[in-house]
Amino acid sequence: MNHDKENFHQLACICDKCQYDEASFLEKVQFKLHLMFCETCKDYAAKNNRLTTLIKQANISCLSLEEQKELKSYLKDKIT
């Protein structure tokens, strides 16, 4: 099944919403039915699920708001 860019983007968004339990019941049903017939979207969904699993396993942390402010201030001082 071929998709134009806009249609694929919309399906990708629904896929993401389904993965994070943000999709409505109707969106979930429609997407599941679509996956039965579309290899492209099935592959996308599988890769998306794999990526999410890897990110969760990596246990990535980010800077706190205070650390971000300090870094921003430090960089500003170094640039000027």
**pLDDT, tens digit (0-9, with 9 covering 90-100), for 34-59:** 889 988 889 989 998 999 899 889 98
**From CA 6, how far away is CA 74, in angstroms rounded?**
42
Q: How confident is the model at residue 1 (pLDDT cuts 50, 70, 90)?
A: low
Where do the structural domains in the chain lie, given as residue ranges?
Answer: 5-79
